Amino acid sequence: MPDTMKAVVKTKPKLGAELQRKPIPTYPPDWVLVKVRATSICGTDVHIYKWDDWSDKRIGAKNLPQTLGHEVAGDVVEVGAHCKRIKVDDYISAETHIYNPGDLNAMLGQLHIGDHMQILGVDCDGAFAEYFAVPESVCWVNDKSIPPEIATIQEPLGNATYTVLGEDSDVAGKTMVIIGDGPIALFAVGVARVCGLAKIFIIGKYDFNMNIAKKLGADHLLYANKDDVNRIQYIRDHTGGSGADIVLEMAGSQQALDEGFQVLRKGGRFSAFGVSADPKPAIDYNNGIVFKGAQIHGISGRRMFDTWYRNRNLLASGRLDISPVITHMFKLEDYKAGFDEMMTRPRHSAKCVLFPSSEEFEAAKKRRGVK
Ligand code: ZN
C-alpha cells in the first residue's frame, strides 16, 4: 500500500479543483478502504466545481479542502475491525446517502431521507481519487460481470429506477412522459423500456441527448425549446385523449412543471425529481393536483437497497443496456476536460467516467471500442 494517492480536491470557494497528492484516507472501524477502478461526474459535482450558491450554503468554504466525487466502483483493499459483511477484494459501489440508523426515517425503512444523513463527496471526502473510505453499511457488492464504467453509474441509475417505478412499481402497460434530457432522464428511458411501459415520451432540448434517448427506447421525442408541435395536444392525442399515466419531472423548470401537470391524466402519478432554481415555483394546485386526483411523489436519492438490487439484476442479465449514456471517458488527471464537457451548452455529453489507473482506462476503451 502506498502512503499517498492522486485526488481531485476542491480547495477554494471558486470555479475549479486541483489535482493533489494526499495521504491514503484513515477511517473508523466500521468503514472500509476502497481502491477506485472508475468514478463518474455527477451534476452535484458540477455544482461544487462551479461553486454556486447551493455549494456555498451546503458545504461552505470553511469545510474545504475536500475531495470531490461520489459515483464509484472499486475493490475493497482493507476493512475496519468492526466490519462483518464486506470483505477484502469485494467489488463494490457506494450508496452515497450515508444513513444514520437512529433517524426515524431510517427506522421506518426510508434510509435515503434521514435527518442526520450524510452524503459522500458532499459532507465528507469523496471518490475522485485512487482510494476512498466509506462506511460498510452503504457498500453495495457488484456483480463481477458489470464493468467498472457501468458499475460507477449505478448510483444515478438508481434515481432513475426509483422515479420510474415510484412506490408501487405499477408501471407495466402504462404511458410515461419524461421531462428533461440529462443523464438521469436518459437512464429513466432505458429503465422504463425494460419495465414494460407501453409508450414513452421524452421532452428535451438537445439533439445529442435526444438521440441517446431514442437508442434507449423513447417512442416520441418532443422539444421543449421548439414550438413547431403543441406538446400538450400531441401527448393527449397519443394517449387516447386522457394524458399520460405517469409524468417524471426531471428538468426543474417552470415550463416543465406547467406542462407536466397539464399532460398528466386524471388520477395519474407525478414524480418530482428536478430541482427548481426558483425556491418556490408556481403550481396549479387546484386543477393540476386536487381536481385531477394526482399522486405526487418527491424523489431525493433512491430507495435503499431495492433500486440497487433491481439494477444489479437488470445490468447483469444484459436486459438493461445503459452504455449509450456514457459519452466520454478520461484519466482521473484529465478531470478538467470532463467538467468542461459537462458544462458545455448545447450539450454534447451525457455521462463522463474517470479512471485513476491507466490500465483500467485502457481496458474500458477496449471494451467500448474507442481509441
Ligand atoms: Zn450522483
C-alpha 301/C-alpha 96 separation (Å) is 9
Question: How remote is the CA of residue 369 from the centroid of ligand 1, in Å?
Answer: 26
Question: How remote is the CA of residue 159 from the centroid of ligand 1, in Å?
Answer: 9
Say if residue 110 is exposed, middle or buried (CB neighbours under 10 Å; 0-12, 13-18, 19+).
middle
pLDDT attached to residue 69: 98
pLDDT attached to residue 324: 98
C-alpha 203/C-alpha 191 separation (Å) is 16
Would you tell me the crossing angle of helices 154-165 and 306-317 to the nearest 10 degrees?
A: 110
pLDDT attached to residue 230: 98
Q: Give me 239's grid cell.
A: 394517449
**Cβ atoms < 10 Å from Cβ of 245:** 21
pLDDT attached to residue 246: 99
pLDDT attached to residue 277: 86
Which residues are annotated as catalytic? Answer: 44, 47
Question: How remote is the CA of residue 364 from the centroid of ligand 1, in Å?
Answer: 21
pTM of the model: 0.97
Per-residue pLDDT of the chain (371 residues; tens, 9 = 90+): 899 999 999 999 999 999 999 999 999 999 999 999 999 999 999 999 999 999 999 999 999 999 999 999 999 999 999 999 999 999 999 999 999 999 999 999 999 999 999 999 999 999 999 999 999 999 999 999 999 999 999 999 999 999 999 999 999 999 999 999 999 999 999 999 999 999 999 999 999 999 999 999 999 999 999 999 999 999 999 999 999 999 999 999 999 999 999 999 999 999 999 999 888 999 999 999 999 999 999 999 999 999 999 999 999 999 999 999 999 999 999 999 999 999 999 999 999 999 999 999 999 999 999 98
Question: How remote is the CA of residue 314 from the centroid of ligand 1, in Å?
Answer: 20
Question: How remote is the CA of residue 157 from the centroid of ligand 1, in Å?
Answer: 9
Question: How remote is the CA of residue 44 from the centroid of ligand 1, in Å?
Answer: 6
Question: How remote is the CA of residue 302 from the centroid of ligand 1, in Å?
Answer: 11
pLDDT attached to residue 371: 85
- Nearest to 91, CA basis, from 27, 140, 42: 140
Question: How remote is the CA of residue 285 from the centroid of ligand 1, in Å?
Answer: 31
**Which residue segments constitute the domains of the chain, with CATH numbers given?**
4-153+322-368 (3.90.180.10), 158-298 (3.40.50.720)
C-alpha 190/C-alpha 154 separation (Å) is 13
Question: How remote is the CA of residue 73 from the centroid of ligand 1, in Å?
Answer: 13
Q: HSE on the CB side for 199, CA within 13 Å?
A: 16
Q: Which is it for the CA torsion 127, 132, 133, 135, positive or negative? A: positive
Supply the DSSP symbol for 120: B
Question: How remote is the CA of residue 52 from the centroid of ligand 1, in Å?
Answer: 17
Question: How remote is the CA of residue 158 from the centroid of ligand 1, in Å?
Answer: 10
C-alpha 160/C-alpha 42 separation (Å) is 14
